[in-house]
Copies of this chain bind each other. A is one copy, B any other.
Amino acid sequence: MSTNLVEHKHKVTKEDRQNLLKQKSPVIWLTGLSGSGKSTIANELAIKLQQEGKLAYILDGDNVRMGLNKDLGFSDNDRKENIRRIAEVAKLISDTGVIVITAFISPFREERKNAKEIIGKDNFIEVFVRTSLETCEKRDPKGLYKKARTGEIPMFTGIDSPYEEPLNYDIMVSGDIDSDQYESTKFLYDSLIERNIFKL
C-alpha cells in the first residue's frame, strides 16, 4: 500500500469526477455586447441545468472582477490578462467535473481564440448572444452606455471600442427582445442537449 502512495499512482481523474456527477463538463462561453442578455441567459441556463440534476457554475463579472482579477484595470494588457485568467479558471473548474458558463463581453476574436486554446477546442462551446447595439443601449441596465456616450467611460465596447462578432460560433442566440430570453435559453439548452454536450 505504502509503495503506491509514494508513487502517486491512483490519482482521481477528471473522468472519475465526471462519472461521479454523471455529466461531461464543457465550458459554455457566452460572448456579446454589454446589455445583450448574457447574464440573464447564463442564469436561466444554470437554473435549467440544476433542475435537471446537473452541476453548473457561472463565471462573470460579479465573482471574478471583485476577487481574482481585482488587480486588473481596463488597459489592453489588463483586458487580455483578464480573459486569460478567466479561461484558466474555467479550465480548472471544468476539470473538477462542473459545467462552466462564462458571461463576459470578450469582444476580440483573438482573445476568444486564446481562451479556446487554453480550455481545449473540444471542451469549448462558443455562444454568440446576438443583440443589436440599439437594443443594448436602450436597455442600458447599468447606465454604462450613457457614461460611454458622454466620455465618462472611455474605450467602451460598441461605442469607441469594437465588438468583433464571432465568425465561427457554435451556437447563436438572440437577445434582442426581453421576453424572448427565456426562449433563447430554451433554444440554447436544447441545442446543447441535441449535441450530447453533457453526455458521458
Contact = CB atoms under 8 A, between A and B. Distances in A.
Contact of A2 (B39, B68, B95, B181): B181
B98 A98 contact: yes
Contacts of A39: 8
Number of copies: 2
B40 A68 contact: no
Place the interface of chain A in its size category.
Answer: 35 or more
Interface stretch (A14-22, A105-113, A143-151): A14-22
A92 B62 CA distance: 11
Given A20-B55, A178-B2, A181-B2, A85 B68 contact: yes
A54 to B, nearest CB: 8
A-B pairs, top 8 by smallest CB distance, nearest first, are: A2-B179, A68-B88, A57-B96, A67-B88, A12-B46, A12-B50, A96-B98, A5-B181
